[in-house]
Structure 1
């Protein structure tokens, strides 16, 4: 064990001193924080102010769209007919971002036309369409009923439909939390692949330059393989911790200094925004609720980091040893670098299928296939992360422990097989790897 530890420390020091390790440790979490920053900024920024000219030559809208003002849109009215070319090229119309044409048949065909200079965002399109529809409804109410506009606006309120699982009536698990689990599962496989390839390159490099012959004079092949996997695993674990520390610090600084208003809990009560809507600022509050950034709520409120970080590391470690042994065996058995690349392709496909398994579980968490993928060692790290963040049913937490036990036992089994391949193939040079050789080495003790 002492020799295994010495090899592990040698590999660990070699990895952490590499320039690529330092760059990835710094740039990786900064890129993640940059992406989060952009999502926060896009979700909380004030939208561009639009000037919309309403061409209402019959005066149907009575020179108004809304009862109050909209901070994002200002409407201007023209009673005459404005040709499209005139609006496009006319000097006096250049200040307007779009023209909303109201024809005389709008009350029957329910159709309007908006001509823009620069395409509005989907939110802006929805905003304009909603306000246009609302104004038409008010006109029809005045013409066809005796109800006042104030009465109509008090009656016309948005109806929210909440879809809830009987096992999760409070909605603690939803698609957003499932995506969070998918992200952490994908992060596990990203590190497994990167450091698994590091194991493969390290083994193949020592094999190609015959350093392994010197090393095997003082240690056994099993000690060399295990020490290499453990040492590189320590480096991966250290980088993981650095990522979590930097990302955690970055999220804290964003909440305290960069987006204090957007991340203020007082600004996140969407249900209250809808309930407090009145006839003057109804539209503005309605759209404020619709534009509420759920991503912010997910990151700071819905993800229970303290309850999940332990399982995250356990499945990372078990998954790393499971796949790391496979990469070490590939490096030891390959006769040339091209052989190693060919054998890596199935592993890459397997990792991609594992990611798809996580995506499938998000959409069909209760299917029989999701249950099977939950226990398969190849796919369990990402599937368990998705299920963990979506939430297990009461009394079913044993499933995560059972999946972890299966993964650990599978890792030991793969390590045992990989050690045979490593021991029998590490000193084989200049050969072309065939499946019959691999099966032969697996049987040889």
Structure 2
């Protein structure tokens, strides 16, 4: 293990001294912050005009919504039960674009449904969720606490607000918070691909210029492989930490200087909060960054070890730097499939396939982050830990297999990589 650590430190110093590492550490988060600013600034300009019926038989909301009116949404209240089929087919409801269902248990289960005729825009979805949730926070703070609404919002839990098609209510649409999870999952796989390719190039380069022959005189192949994976992995973690730090500071700066009016009660009371501020609220108040970053780190580490072993093995068994390209394509397709799996789960969070993809190690990092952001049903949170355990166990198994390929293929030169070579080297102990 000592030799592995020495190799890891050598790889780390090489990465930290490269210009590309520094540029990516600075430019990457700046690009993310720029895109975030543009969404905050201009994302709410293209508005739909909606009429929304709030069905509230228990009169939980007291036929009130927010202190300031939204010019793009007109709310009406019904204090009697309205069946979904009635709303979908009866002529008296034809002018309403959507129906929000507020049942008597909403204050305890924090769950509500919106049934729409046409899919709302992203802005409209955020606005309705924001306005209904704000009103419910006022009710909760008044009935169950002695806190002010502002203090209560610091400790409140977000409302689980599901969007469904009124003509196809079983087709559950994505929760907006799921996109946050998909973003975290996508970042994991971007880093895995970039630093996985770094592992591949490093191994292939040292194999091609015969440096590896000198290294193997003092270091075992397994120690060399682990050292490269760990060293490059540490640099990936440092890169991710810098991203989180710069993005976090950037968001804090935006909150305190550019988009501060959402936190000014006088502006809200006067109806002077701009459209983009619902996006600001989504990012600053609904996303639990502490929880997300904690599990992001765990799944990033396990996912990197899992895929990093593949990249290391591929570099070792290739006859030249360009020889392994044919086997790199399936690996890239698996990474793309993992991103698609995250989107699939975003659209179908309760399907059996969603559970399978969360446990499947190739897709687990993305899918787990999506499921975490959507929230687990009561009693199902264990699925997150099962997914993490299976991914870690799979990583250990893949590293063991990759170590055998690394040992038997590293000193092979001048060959064309074929599948039969891989099978042969796997059989040699």
TM-score, length basis structure 2: 0.71
Q: CA deviation at 1:158?
A: 2.5
Q: CA deviation at 1:396?
A: 1.1
The equivalent residue for 1:169 is 111
Task: Tell me the matched-pair count.
Answer: 325
**2:236 paired with 1:242:** no
Cα RMSD for the two superposed structures: 2.5
Describe the SS at the equivalent of 1:162.
Answer: strand
User: Residue 324 of structure 2 contacts residue 417 of structure 2 at CA under 8 Å; is this kept in 1?
Assistant: no
The equivalent residue for 1:63 is none
The equivalent residue for 1:21 is 21
The equivalent residue for 1:365 is 349
User: Residue 424 of structure 1 contacts residue 441 of structure 1 at CA under 8 Å; is this kept in 2?
Assistant: yes
| In 2, Cα distance between equivalents of 1:219 and 1:235 | 22
Residues 117-153 of structure 1 deviation map (CA, whole Å, 9 limit, x = unaligned): xxxxx43xx57xx9xxxxxxxxxxxxxxxxxxxxxxx
User: Residue 173 of structure 1 contacts residue 391 of structure 1 at CA under 8 Å; is this kept in 2?
Assistant: no
Residues 351-406 of structure 1 deviation map (CA, whole Å, 9 limit, x = unaligned): 11100100000110000111110100000100000000000111111100000000
User: Residue 172 of structure 1 contacts residue 302 of structure 1 at CA under 8 Å; is this kept in 2?
Assistant: no
Q: CA deviation at 1:444?
A: 1.2
* Equivalent residue runs for 1:30-69 within 5 Å: 30-43=30-43
The equivalent residue for 1:310 is 294
The equivalent residue for 1:399 is 383
Q: CA deviation at 1:161?
A: 3.1
Describe the SS at the equivalent of 2:411.
Answer: coil
Q: 2:75 is matched with which residue: 158, 181, 195?
A: 158
| In 2, Cα distance between equivalents of 1:318 and 1:267 | 47
| In 1, Cα distance between equivalents of 2:27 and 2:101 | 40
**2:206 paired with 1:206:** yes
* Equivalent residue runs for 1:325-404 within 5 Å: 325-404=309-388
User: Residue 33 of structure 1 contacts residue 247 of structure 1 at CA under 8 Å; is this kept in 2?
Assistant: yes
* Equivalent residue runs for 1:124-273 within 5 Å: 158-159=75-76, 161-162=99-100, 168-169=110-111, 171-172=159-160, 175-261=175-261, 263-264=262-263, 266=265
Q: CA deviation at 1:310?
A: 1.2
Change (3 A) 1:206 1:164: farther
Q: 2:280 is matched with which residue: 296, 300, 307?
A: 296
User: Residue 178 of structure 2 contacts residue 370 of structure 2 at CA under 8 Å; is this kept in 1?
Assistant: yes
Gaps of 5+ in 2: 51-72, 77-97, 113-158, 163-174
User: Residue 374 of structure 1 contacts residue 403 of structure 1 at CA under 8 Å; is this kept in 2?
Assistant: yes
Residues 99-127 of structure 1 deviation map (CA, whole Å, 9 limit, x = unaligned): xxxxxxxxxxxxxxxxxxxxxxx43xx57
The equivalent residue for 1:8 is 8
Q: CA deviation at 1:259?
A: 1.9
The equivalent residue for 1:437 is 421
Change (3 A) 1:258 1:204: same
Which structure has the larger Rg over C-alpha atoms?
A: 1
| In 2, Cα distance between equivalents of 1:344 and 1:391 | 35
Q: CA deviation at 1:163?
A: 5.6
Q: Which runs of 4 or more aligned residues in structure 1 lie more than 3 Å from their structure 2 counterparts after TM superposition?
A: 163-168, 265-269, 288-294
User: Residue 259 of structure 2 contacts residue 280 of structure 2 at CA under 8 Å; is this kept in 1?
Assistant: no
Gaps of 5+ in 1: 48-121, 131-155, 274-284
User: Residue 173 of structure 1 contacts residue 390 of structure 1 at CA under 8 Å; is this kept in 2?
Assistant: no
User: Residue 268 of structure 1 contacts residue 292 of structure 1 at CA under 8 Å; is this kept in 2?
Assistant: no
The equivalent residue for 1:415 is 399
Q: CA deviation at 1:36?
A: 0.9
Change (3 A) 1:303 1:337: same
Change (3 A) 1:163 1:417: farther
Q: 2:303 is matched with which residue: 307, 312, 319?
A: 319
Q: CA deviation at 1:292?
A: 5.6
| In 1, Cα distance between equivalents of 2:75 and 2:411 | 73
| In 2, Cα distance between equivalents of 1:265 and 1:420 | 62
Q: CA deviation at 1:39?
A: 1.3
Q: CA deviation at 1:443?
A: 1.5
User: Residue 326 of structure 1 contacts residue 414 of structure 1 at CA under 8 Å; is this kept in 2?
Assistant: yes
Q: CA deviation at 1:308?
A: 2.2
User: Residue 362 of structure 1 contacts residue 386 of structure 1 at CA under 8 Å; is this kept in 2?
Assistant: yes
